[in-house]
Amino acid sequence: MSFSDDEIERYARHLVLAEIGGPGQQRLKAARVGLIGLGGVGAPAALYLAAAGAGTLRLIDDDTVALSNLQRQIVFETPDVGRPKVEAGARALTALNPHVVIEGAAERLDATNAARLIEGCDVVIDGTDDFATRFVVNAASVAAGIPLVSGALGRWSGQVGVFAGRPCYRCLVAETPPDAETCARVGVVGALAGVVGAMTALEAIKLITGAGEALTGRLLLYDGLAGTARTARVTADPACPVCG
C-alpha cells in the first residue's frame, strides 16, 4: 500500500514518529474501526481517527442530530440538526479527510445485529451510554476476537478502558448499576467529551500501530473537576458469563 504526495504531507507528523512512521501509517490505512454511537465519545473519536488516516470508519448510530448534541459532539454543525448522525458525520469526516472510507450503518445495535455490524472491524470503540448496549457490544467483540475500546463520561469525569479477550467489559460491570446515570439527566461538560473521545481514538491508534502499551485490561479514570487521573487494573471475573 503506497501513499500519494498528498497523504505523505497530510500524515507528516505521524511519519516522523518512531512508534508510527511509514509502517504504522500503512497499518492505519489498512484498518477498519467500528464506532458504536456517534455521541459525546464517538464524535470526537471519529474526527481524530479520520484525521489520523484510519482507512475505514464504520459509523453505527440510528439517531438524528439534536441541537443539544452540538455542545460536545463537534463532528456536527448547526445545519445538521434533524439529519441522521451517520449521514452528517460521513459528510464532515469526508471533508476532513477524503482518503478515509466511511461506512454508515443507521441501525440501533442490539443482540440480533451486533455480530454483523462489527464484522470485519480491527477495533471497536463503544461510546454508547446505556449498559444494555454496552453488554451486547462486549459480548459480540469477545466472540469475534475484536479488541474493544470503551469510553464513558458524565458530569465532570470520564473513563477509558481496553478489553481484548479476558478480562472483558462484563468482568468490570457485572450488571446494570441501579444508580446508572445518563448525560441527559445529570449533564456533562462538553470539553470532557473531547478528552475521553480523543483518548479512545488514541487507544485505537495504539492498538492498530502496535505503539506503546494499550490500556488493555486497565481502566483510566479521569476527574476533570479535580484535574487528576489514575489507572486501575481490571480483574477477570471467574463467573463472567461472557469470557469466564
Catalytic residue numbers, as ranges? 183
Q: How far is CA 186 from CA 156, 168, 191, 238, in A?
A: 10, 27, 16, 33
Part of the chain binding Zn ion (CB under 5 A), chosen from 11-19, 32-40, 167-175, 183-191: 167-175
Question: Is residue 124 classed as helix, strand or coil in its secondary structure?
Answer: strand
Minimum separation from the CB atom of position 50 to Zn ion (A): 31
Give the C-alpha separation, 155 to 224, whole Å. 9
Comparing CB distances to Zn ion, the nearer of 192 and 240 is 240
Part of the chain binding Zn ion (CB under 5 A), chosen from 43-51, 95-103, 164-172, 177-185: 164-172
Comparing CB distances to Zn ion, the nearer of 96 and 236 is 236
For residue 167, say if its preceding peptide bond is cis, omega within 30 degrees of 0. yes
**226: phi then psi, degrees, rounded to nearest 5:** -85, -20
**Under rule CB under 5 A, residue 171 binds Zn ion:** yes
Part of the chain binding Zn ion (CB under 5 A), chosen from 97-105, 128-136, 216-224, 232-240: 232-240
Comparing CB distances to Zn ion, the nearer of 98 and 241 is 241
Taking CB under 5 A as the criterion, the residue among 52, 93, 139, 242 binding Zn ion is: 242
Total of chain residues touching Zn ion, rule CB under 5 A:
6
Query: Which residue, 4, 10, 14, is CA-closest to 211?
Result: 14
Minimum separation from the CB atom of position 163 to Zn ion (A): 8
**Under rule CB under 5 A, residue 170 binds Zn ion:** yes
Sheet holding 228-233, edge to edge: 101-105, 56-60, 32-36, 123-126, 148-154, 157-163, 218-223, 228-233
Taking CB under 5 A as the criterion, the residue among 52, 54, 75, 240 binding Zn ion is: 240
Comparing CB distances to Zn ion, the nearer of 47 and 219 is 219
- Please check whether residue 9 is in contact with residue 42, taking contact to mean a CB–CB distance below 8 angstroms: no
Give the C-alpha separation, 229 to 158, whole Å. 10
Minimum separation from the CB atom of position 46 to Zn ion (A): 27
Cell numbers 475500546 correspond to what residue?
149
Taking CB under 5 A as the criterion, the residue among 168, 188, 193, 214 binding Zn ion is: 168
Binding site for Zn ion (CB under 5 A): 168, 170-171, 240, 242-243
